[in-house]
Structure 1
Amino acid sequence: MDEENAVRRSIQEVQPNQTGFSESSDFSKGSNLLHTIQRQLEEGNIDKLSIEELIQLEQWLDDALRKTRARKTEIMLEAAKSFHKQEKQLRVENEALQMKIDAAALNEKCQEDQCHPTGASLELQFIPEADQRDSRATSPEKPMLIFL
């Protein structure tokens, strides 16, 4: 009988909050309730709860599950945004590195073929978008191959 009263008190202490629960206090109360329920299930005392208490418990668990899933979705979306941003940065870096490789290969070929008798070489430069002197500048991240 004491265990049944303990479950009832736990359920009454952790009422579902209509506006949502505060992150820390209700989470710890919910955690305590879940531990109490788990103990009751293991001991087989859950059958002694009234229908109202079971309905109230079910509603609280549904509410907690909904909020948990919403938070998980929010975290996953934030992670996806971060990964997309990182992917974009890596693509830009990859393009710049590929341009450097191409410039080095072309520079080596030109030196072998002596296509630039004056000793001119190729250089990779980043031209800011704000610099409108060169109409070839399309974005701040795009590297350009320039003959020097």
Structure 2
Amino acid sequence: MIRLLPITTLVGFALLAACFNEDASVNQAAIMPMLGAVMHSDTDEVRRLAEHGIGLDEREPADQSTPMIVASGSDQWPVVEILVDHGADIWAHDQFGVTMAQMAVTSRILPGSDEDKARLRVIEKLKARGYPFPPPNAERILSLEKDGKWPPLEATR
């Protein structure tokens, strides 16, 4: 299920775009620029937007995923690192309780690759901020949030 979320996110965006009449004077990407940059794997645009604090925690309407969740679901770990370094909410989850940290643990990125090195740096940054590892599963995240215990009170925001 977790690996299918990025595909459903892309389908959701395609359906959303189909609902709008295409008009050259309207920039649809401006509605959610960071999610658009992540979905197009445009690392330079992600960096540019992040440096200006634009869209770090945008929410995809279909499932409430953030750019960081979408990027981690498609193993774009350098992009995730950019988002973490610029203040994106590391505690965010989608409507199903899926987090970027869960994806970091289940990633199938090639070990030793540059992307994997970025993934490992992200994990260390999360741990440094008090993120529990291994991270709680999706069901547990939703339960903790319902009880007012997510994110953990002692964690660094």
> TM-score by structure 1 length?
0.26
Structure with the larger strand share: 1
> TM-score by structure 2 length?
0.25
The structure whose Rg is larger is 1
